[in-house]
Amino acid sequence: MDYMTLKEASEKWGVTPRRVNYYCAAGRIPGAVKMAGVWLIPKGATKPIDRRIKSNNPPKEGIV
DSSP 48-59: PP-TTS-TTSPP
* Measured distance CA(17)–CA(57) in Å, rounded: 28
Cut 0.85: pTM above it:
no
Is 80 exceeded by the pLDDT of residue 63? no
* Measured distance CA(33)–CA(27) in Å, rounded: 9
pLDDT in tens, 24-36: 999 999 999 999 9
Instruction: Please give the pLDDT value at position 8.
Output: 96
Domain count, the chain: 1
> What is the span of the domain harbouring residue 8?
3-42
Contact of 41 with 20, CB cutoff 8 Å: yes
Contact of 7 with 15, CB cutoff 8 Å: no
Pairing mode of beta strands 3-4, 33-35? unpaired
Q: Specify if 56 maps to a domain.
A: no
